[in-house]
Amino acid sequence: MKVTIVGAGNVGATCADVISYRGIASEVVLLDIKEGFAEGKALDITQCATNTGFNTKVSGVTNDYSKTAGSDVVVITSGIPRKPGMTREELIGINAGIVKTVAENVLKYSPDTIIVVVSNPMDTMTYLALKATGLPKNRIIGMGGALDSSRFRTYLSLALDKPANDISAMVIGGHGDTTMIPLTRLASYNGIPVSQFLSEEVLQKVAADTMVGGATLTGLLGTSAWYAPGASVAYLVDSILNDQKKMIACSVFVEGEYGQNDICIGVPCIIGKNGVEEIVDINLNDQEKALFAKSADAVRGMNDALKSILV
């Protein structure tokens, strides 16, 4: 099984490293436009093999899409990262042209691939990739919800002082600081609602921290985070390549689900060998429905900026 990662920056390289280390794919190709950059990252990762025991073939190429031929999954991380004070929405004009070109190029050599979009603003870039390529909606997946949910579980873990892997929690809605919806009502610790352990005040603090989780790291690091995003992409790719059918919150095209149409937005999905195999309908309460509708309106508004690009 072959995975191509377009963009060998921090997120792309971390994703390649996790996929290789865990043996998720037999081959990983890193591609970047900067001369020698992807090659260097691939060589560095490969030199870990004897110490960490993986057998994945890792290679890097400079802007040569022919080397990506036959990829089962293509991950697009291309574009500029956020800088302190910059919102994901501000990246639309810069990253849209990059994502459209990348998607078209990878399909020349891997027409049957599943595309995972990481570039921000992620919901809008996922929508762009879908509309620009004309692929079936199950083959274009935005990974934002997987990352947001991992951050949500982390903050719940810290509040509970319990292992994150014992906590089940999900974030739906847009992948933005004001549009994501941490579902505190449905979060649980080993099947028990976390509301039995945490006060409403603490839960609201956890939700607020989750929503600005990316911005918090950008402020601390001076650029976008990469360890958790890279691992979240690898987690999603694993479910696709190995047909694990995990339920993962992903940004996907909706046609009536959750009362929305013609946008890509984060909803619970069953992810397997065909990409998005099912959108899971969660019974949201009235407050959650209102928040989701508001989030969808915000995402739809950002998509309006793509009209000139999609013509």
What CATH number is attached to the domain comprising 215? 3.90.110.10
Q: How many angstroms separate the CA atoms of 62 and 107, rounded?
A: 17
Domain that holds residue 136: 2-143
Which pTM does this prediction carry?
A: 0.93
Question: pLDDT value at position 90?
Answer: 66
Q: Give catalytic status of residue 303 as yes or no.
A: no
Q: Say if residue 261 is in the same domain as residue 170.
A: yes
Q: Look at the block and give the residue holding tokens 């762009």.
A: 128
User: Does pLDDT of 87 surpass 80?
Assistant: no
> Average pLDDT of 51-70?
96
At 300 the pLDDT is: 93
pLDDT for residue 159 is more than 80: yes
> Is 97 marked as binding a ligand?
no
* DSSP 8-state code for residue 223: S
> Is 82 a known ligand-binding residue?
yes
Planar angle of CA 103, 105, 108, nearest 5 degrees:
110
Sign of CA dihedral 133, 136, 137, 142: negative
Q: Are residues 148 and 138 in the same domain?
A: no
10 marked as binding residue: yes
Beta carbons within 8 Å of 49's beta carbon, 6+ residues apart: 20, 55, 56
Integer CA distances (angstroms), 208 to 163, 166, 203, 275, 276, in order: 20, 21, 9, 31, 29
Domain membership of residue 171 (yes or no) is yes
Q: Which of 127, 143, 159 is the last residue of a domain?
A: 143
| Rounded-to-10 torsion of CA 48, 214, 116, 12 | -30
Which one is catalytic: 41, 139, 175, 300?
Answer: 175
Where does residue 64 rank: exposed (0-12), middle (13-18), buried (19+ CB within 10 A)?
exposed
Q: How far apart are CA 296 and CA 292, in angstroms?
A: 6
Tell me which DSSP letter residue 298 carries. Answer: H
Same domain, 286 and 187: yes
Query: Where is average pLDDT lowest: 91-100, 189-198, 222-231, 246-255?
Result: 91-100
Asked if 151 and 288 sit in the same domain, the reply is yes
181, 294 Cβ separation under 8 angstroms: no
Specify the pLDDT at position 303: 87
Asked whether residue 156 falls in the same domain as residue 279, the answer is yes
Domain boundary residue, one of 87, 110, 143? 143
- Report whether pLDDT(218) > 80: yes
Residue 8 in marked binding region: yes
Task: Give the DSSP H/E element, type plus range, for residue 215.
Answer: helix 213-221
Cα(204)–Cα(201) distance, rounded to whole angstroms?
5
Quick: pLDDT tens for 9-59: 999 999 999 999 999 999 999 999 999 999 999 999 999 999 999 999 999
Number of domains, the chain: 2
| 160 in the same domain as 137 | no
Amino acid at site 207: A
Percent of the chain with pLDDT over 90: 85
The answer to the question of whether 88 is labelled as a binding residue is yes
In a domain, 215, yes or no: yes
Q: Is the same domain home to 119 and 174?
A: no
Q: Is residue 59 one of the residues assigned to a domain?
A: yes
| Residue 240 falls inside a structural domain | yes
Structure tokens at 201: 């005040």
Residues 7 and 129 in one domain: yes
Residue 95: pLDDT band with limits 50, 70, 90: confident
Contacts of 230 (CB under 8 A, 6+ apart): 10, 11, 12, 13, 14, 15, 17, 18
Q: How far apart are CA 211 and CA 170, in angstroms?
A: 12
Is 118 among the annotated ligand-binding positions? Answer: yes
Domain of residue 34, CATH code: 3.40.50.720
The pLDDT score that the predictor gives to residue 305 is 74
Average pLDDT, the chain: 94
- For residues 125 and 22, state if they share a domain: yes
Q: Are residues 207 and 68 part of one domain?
A: no
Same structural domain, 278 and 207: yes
- Per-residue confidence at 94, pLDDT binned at 50, 70, 90? confident
pLDDT digits (tens, 9 = 90+) for 106-152: 999 999 999 999 998 899 999 999 999 999 999 999 999 999 999 99
Taking Cα atoms as reference points, which of 293, 234, 301 lies closest to residue 260?
Answer: 293
